[in-house]
Structure 1
Amino acid sequence: MSIHLMNPERMIAEAVAEVLEPPPPVDYRSWAIDNIEFSDRESPIPGKYNPELFPEFDEILRAASPEDPCRIVTLAKSAQLGGTILANIFTLGSLHMDPCDFLYTHPTDDNGRRWSKLKLKPMLRGTAALAALFPERSRDGGDSVMFKERADGRGSIQVSGANSPASLSQVSMRRQVQDDLSKWEMNSAGDPERQADSRSRAFEFAKILKISTPLVLPGCRISRSLLAGSQEYPEVPCPHCDAFQVLEWENMRATIEANPEDPHFTCIECGCEIREHHRAEIKKRLRWSVRNPKVRGHHRSFWIWSAYSVLQSFARIAQEWLAAKGDPAAEQTFMNDTCGLAYEAAGETVAWETLRDRAAESHYKAGQIPAGALLITLGIDCQDDRVEWQLVGWGRDLRRWVIAYGVIPKHISDEECRAKLDDLLQQRWLNTVGRRIGIDLAAIDGNAWTEEVWAWAKRHPATRAIMVRGVGSETAPLFARVKRERNRQGKLLKYSRRFYNFATSVLKMALYRNLAKADPLERGFVGMPEGLDDDYFRQLTSERRKPKRNRQGFTVYQWVKDAAQANEGLDTHLQAEAAAIRLGIRTLPDATWSRLEEERETPPEDLQLDLEDLMNRPATVEDPPRPSRAEVAQRVRDLTAAATQAAPPDANPVRTSEAPKARPTLAEIAARMNRR
């Protein structure tokens, strides 16, 4: 039997050597090549990470390594460009090559949990270099959804939400990722970006990767970070003259406007065409142009968009633009997700007097449905002592026309008020061809007096009336059903099945841009009727998007109005638009519009208009000027006299069954008047 004893001096020497030995170089690019492999579920290009396809990532990964002295790395980019891949390489590569405590922050805790389950866990399991370091251990504090620790205790990753101040406190992190930074909103403790930045303050050589698609200016976090950094933009050479240049969206847009079927770039030097088949070759020589070099040693910031990515074709970019053009809400999504650019918000619109003057020259009156308005929606807003409503018509190319605006006295809980709302929902309005059209869908604000509103809404089917609630966040979905809501006793509320949130901030910006359009044929044009009160136009334009300091002293951007000015005209208009979105106004095919035109704008064979209808019949753009009441009355007298003179002399003056055949009907009179 032999006993082996460890030499204590050797043991101490090995421990000291391990501590003093310089760490190996941290090369994220090489690590990704050796360790990252995508499945067909994770990427449209499955297989091992191929840097030849993503040469634009090389410099960003170098900036994130300890070899670069900068502390902050910012990437403003288009959506679906591979930013998540970059963040994952930085995260997993750090945990393997240079273990430390790592913070990965998402906009919310829910986002973080979803990422941990759907992204992080499969990556740790599927990456051979990390599987042993992060074993799956049930009921272990070192392996939970929001926190995972290396088996040897030398590093960990904490997943956090920017909405949770607790998860951004009492921790020190040498490296971190701030993902989807533009979607971070103020939390109860103040600015989450500052809170996250402070978690790395104790480390002189910390690395913070900020990554996001831009949103709205002013106030976009990733755009602000881009401007604060080195502002590096990707340049590629022209395949014809070798002049280096940044591929700008406005350059491509000009070619799309000239020929939508042939999207390309035009060289700023020689004027030759740079096409998609040139992209792979010119990207091999991609270089970064630095516009703010004085901060490069501390903060490197990069920008890139879809035109550089193998995951996006020029043709698809063109198709997306043509689909979005003219619709400010869709244009915002296109600028953010496809172009990687922040959308400049329309903080205010044209003066209310301009809208009033435009309405005074309108070709239709309040209460009439103009030509082209094929879907009719109603927006309803509840106040303490009244209910206000607005009727809006919708047509092709997202054009809309305000039809009517009104007020019903008393609170929504009052039965008399509810009865009048019931009548309003059943009312039908006359259009240009003599048809009476009813409301396709009503949307009533359910944010206040929810139970009373529900008591009225449930009197009507969900295809006729829905409840809506405005959400002020600029990152909120345009329209989404409210998650299941329960009362204090835990009972599921029935109205949750027909209760919807809509993004008020996005719709306000879009509406204000559309109100500035004066061409009735322009996509998104808003028509105004003759006969509305001045106060309606003041209400419609009552809000402004302005910077405001919150309780913590940080600047946030909010929609505000003059305290003395009501804004129900704006609210009811947005609620009517929410109803139109529910009807699919943005996605209806041409065949549906054509069917609606045939059903609603074809004159009925048995048209019968009374004299009041004839005098108030709305004119179309092609109609001649409307005759006055006196002219209408005189024409009716002339036609009646002519019919009387045509009767036989011995005709019985008492009306018989044959008499109406010689005398024109009101329908014939109307037809003659329309022809004249």
Structure 2
Amino acid sequence: MNAPLLPDATHAPAAQRLAAVAARAVEPRKPITVSQWADLHFVLSSKSSAEPGRWRTDRNPPLREPMDCMSARSSVKDVTAMFPIQFGKSEIARTTLGYVMDHAPAPVMVCLPGEVSMLKWVNQKLNPMIEDVPVVSRALVSTASRDASNTRTFKDFAGGQLYMEHAGSPQRLKQTSVRHLIVDELDEFAGSLTTGDDPVDMLEGRTSAFPGNYKRLFISTPGLLGVSRTHAKYLKSDRRRYHVPCPHCGHRQPLEWSGLHWDRTPEGVVTHAWYVCQDCGAMIDEHHKTAMIAAGQWVPENPEAKTRGYHINCLYYQLGLGPRWADLAEMWIAAQSDPARLKTFVNDRLAEPWEDPAMRAVKHNLIADRAEAYPLRTAPEGVLAITAGVDTQDNRLAVHVVGWGRGMSAWTIDYIELPGDPAEEAVWTALTDLLNRPIQHVRGGLLRVEAVAIDAGGHRTEAVKAFVRRRVVHRPMAIFGAVPNNAPVLSRPKAQDVTWSGRTDKRGVMIWHVGTVAIKHMLFSRLSTDADKDQQARLVHFSDELPHEFYTGLVSETYNPAKNRFEKRRGARNEPLDTWGYAYAAAHHPELRLHRRTKADWDAAEARVIDSAEVATGADGVNRSTVAHTESSDSDHDDDIFAPIPMR
């Protein structure tokens, strides 16, 4: 029997290496956190960082807790980080991704709002991490560009797969199951996809195959108040803010923009900025900031919530990693005269949602409190003409009847939603009856709806055109919202029908384009100024019989100065707002032009109201306006707007 082979000196190193490899293969992974992993392995690239080199979480302590929430041993599943720019949002995402690929392998998806932003993230964030972090590079199955396991938007790594996706296409958000979801620039996601689906809901569904151990990270600066997805998620979270101790009294507090003060030269240059303690009122110079942040901690405002939410602002920039307090003060001062720049500062530096200052006085509850005691379907004192706006939905028609008076003062006379598919005739019959029904004036006569604008957008365009062609109501208009932001209230109409010979039918249906941006600016400015006026001086009036939902819909949109567009608040229905705008556009019909009426025109209209009331009420005091009327065509009596209208 041969003696066993014993490793000699020449074989010992190889044997030791083999044993070490085998030991590592069976050794359990040490339970480290994301921040610990980052301190050991992560490297900042010169391509994407002002301070390239080895990562140190202590350089920016507020990032540690959000990072560690994404650790394998953490019980937290959903994290929302509402951070300012240049604060390390992308580093939270990248360290989490590197940690998953190297230490806790599993399927992971990184999603950006669009293809352009996705490719930028790949080139500026992902590729430098693969090049500069050896453990991430070694985790990849292949780094060959021609290998199917290593493409620009897909990486195969040991124990998992990386999917780079964007939310511009519903197909990219389907048929993928992942345990880790990282969403960057959440507020830039579209409100809905071409299929009508919500992209964020579709993304969250990608983790449903891992109900017990999924992780989801949403990071972004916020956008518009009421529209911002990030802010909405933050409000539902435990709402953590970073509290730091005052160097003078020790009182812990979050740093808020209102606490920053500064001195300026006569030329407007900020020479010194300091923070005032909320408790002792002491002046805190910026050189204390590093120690204050190092001693700070995240404090929840809503500790009962299941999800984590983190909010911090630009006052926490570490020295050398962002603008100084004096620089931020100068940015704030320079932005005061420019709404777009002010919005950018509020969103990007304060990490707060933007609210148009004109909208701060336009709250649905404040408007509801100004409601007046007049019944619906009755024209109050001051109403001298009536128009209507109709919004078309797949299962209903929303109708807003508005009365107009001197100076284009407006009264909502009726708001109703008629159920029924506009592709069928029944709902149009109900609309015809509603619009042709005379409206009682408070003085005794009857008014009719002089023009109606009907939204032809959406899925029922041809049904709207067919209704307008029949002309069974007075001055029907098929309208679309104008694309240009500076479009006039009512553009010149364009004929849509053609004759049998292919020529334009000038007597066919016409399409009018409505400048919705201009109309909403006008309405909100009037609602804002009405807040300080008494009832007689107000320009926009509402009945106390209108439901609560009407007022929430009326202010359901907020202005985005960066896009020069109004954007709908999430979850709100904006039909009351849209239909008011359509009724306003109908008042600009070239046969009416209520906005161009002179004092003499309004005086004549008021005289006709008085005359019609006297005719309608005889000596016996009986109102005869609903009993007798003279048969006449619309073309012969366009000016006789107070005559009773026969039902058609």
Q: Report the TM range for the smaller structure's normalisation.
A: 0.5 to 0.7
- Asked whether the 8 Å contact 1:546–1:560 carries over to 2, the reply is no
Specify the alignment match of 2:215 in structure 1: 207
Q: Where does 1:166-185 land on structure 2 (aligned, <5 Å)?
A: 166-185=171-190
In the TM superposition, what whole-angstrom CA distance separates every residue of 1:116-151 from its partner, at most 9, and x where no partner exists?
A: 13321221122111222223223322111111111x
568 and 341 in structure 1: CA distance in 2 versus 1, 3 angstrom threshold: farther
Specify the alignment match of 1:333 in structure 2: 344
CA distance in 1, matches of 2:307, 2:518: 32
Establish whether residue 56 from structure 1 lines up as the match of residue 72 from structure 2.
no
Specify the alignment match of 1:219 in structure 2: 227
CA distance in 2, matches of 1:209, 1:545: 31
Single out whichever of 107-116 and 248-257 deviates more from structure 2: 248-257
Specify the alignment match of 2:153 in structure 1: 146
Question: What amino acid is aligned across from residue 175 of structure 1 in structure 2?
Answer: H
- Asked whether the 8 Å contact 1:347–1:509 carries over to 2, the reply is no
Q: Which of 75, 82, 88 is equivalent to 1:76?
A: 82
Specify the alignment match of 1:35 in structure 2: 41
**How far off its partner does 1:261 sit?**
3.3
- Asked whether the 8 Å contact 1:229–1:300 carries over to 2, the reply is yes
Single out whichever of 56-65 and 256-265 deviates more from structure 2: 256-265
**How far off its partner does 1:72 sit?**
0.1
Establish whether residue 89 from structure 1 lines up as the match of residue 95 from structure 2.
yes
Specify the alignment match of 1:610 in structure 2: none
CA distance in 1, matches of 2:587, 2:484: 13
**How far off its partner does 1:18 sit?**
10
Q: Which of 46, 52, 59 is equivalent to 2:52?
A: 46
Establish whether residue 313 from structure 1 lines up as the match of residue 332 from structure 2.
no
Question: What amino acid is aligned across from residue 325 of structure 1 in structure 2?
Answer: Q
Identity within the alignment, %: 25
In the TM superposition, what whole-angstrom CA distance separates every residue of 1:458-508 from its partner, at most 9, and x where no partner exists?
A: xxxxxxxxxx96479xxxxxxxxxxxxxxxxxxxxxxxxxxxxxx997997
Question: What amino acid is aligned across from residue 190 of structure 1 in structure 2?
Answer: D
SS at match of 1:271: coil
CA distance in 1, matches of 2:517, 2:52: 39
In the TM superposition, what whole-angstrom CA distance separates every residue of 1:564-610 from its partner, at most 9, and x where no partner exists?
A: 212999xxxxxxxxxxxxxxxxxxxxxxxxxxxxxxxxxxxxxxxxx
31 and 306 in structure 1: CA distance in 2 versus 1, 3 angstrom threshold: same
Specify the alignment match of 1:275 in structure 2: 285
CA distance in 1, matches of 2:522, 2:341: 9
Q: Where does 1:343-362 land on structure 2 (aligned, <5 Å)?
A: 343-345=354-356
41 and 146 in structure 1: CA distance in 2 versus 1, 3 angstrom threshold: closer
Specify the alignment match of 1:238 in structure 2: 246
Specify the alignment match of 2:201 in structure 1: 194
CA distance in 2, matches of 1:308, 1:67: 28
**How far off its partner does 1:320 sit?**
0.9
**Unmatched segments (≥5 aa) in structure 1:** 5-16, 352-467, 473-502, 519-533, 536-542, 570-676
Q: Where does 1:632-643 land on structure 2 (aligned, <5 Å)?
A: none
CA distance in 2, matches of 1:240, 1:190: 53
- Asked whether the 8 Å contact 1:70–1:299 carries over to 2, the reply is yes
Question: What amino acid is aligned across from residue 83 of structure 2 in structure 1?
Answer: K
**How far off its partner does 1:34 sit?**
2.0
- Asked whether the 8 Å contact 1:39–1:47 carries over to 2, the reply is yes
SS at match of 2:80: strand
Establish whether residue 67 from structure 1 lines up as the match of residue 73 from structure 2.
yes
TM-score (norm 1): 0.51
Q: Where does 1:495-506 land on structure 2 (aligned, <5 Å)?
A: none
CA distance in 1, matches of 2:95, 2:516: 37
In the TM superposition, what whole-angstrom CA distance separates every residue of 1:611-648 from its partner, at most 9, and x where no partner exists?
A: xxxxxxxxxxxxxxxxxxxxxxxxxxxxxxxxxxxxxx
263 and 282 in structure 1: CA distance in 2 versus 1, 3 angstrom threshold: same
Q: CA RMSD in A?
A: 4.0
**How far off its partner does 1:350 sit?**
8.6
Residues matched between the structures, number: 381
**How far off its partner does 1:555 sit?**
3.0
Question: What amino acid is aligned across from residue 565 of structure 1 in structure 2?
Answer: Y
547 and 139 in structure 1: CA distance in 2 versus 1, 3 angstrom threshold: same
**How far off its partner does 1:329 sit?**
2.1
- Asked whether the 8 Å contact 2:47–2:124 carries over to 1, the reply is no
**How far off its partner does 1:23 sit?**
4.3
118 and 212 in structure 1: CA distance in 2 versus 1, 3 angstrom threshold: same
Question: What amino acid is aligned across from residue 84 of structure 2 in structure 1?
Answer: S
SS at match of 2:273: coil
**How far off its partner does 1:61 sit?**
1.4
**How far off its partner does 1:331 sit?**
1.4
Establish whether residue 555 from structure 1 lines up as the match of residue 571 from structure 2.
yes
TM-score (norm 2): 0.53
CA distance in 2, matches of 1:299, 1:511: 39
508 and 554 in structure 1: CA distance in 2 versus 1, 3 angstrom threshold: closer
- Asked whether the 8 Å contact 2:359–2:524 carries over to 1, the reply is yes
CA distance in 2, matches of 1:275, 1:147: 48
Question: What amino acid is aligned across from residue 172 of structure 1 in structure 2?
Answer: S
Q: Where does 1:421-436 land on structure 2 (aligned, <5 Å)?
A: none
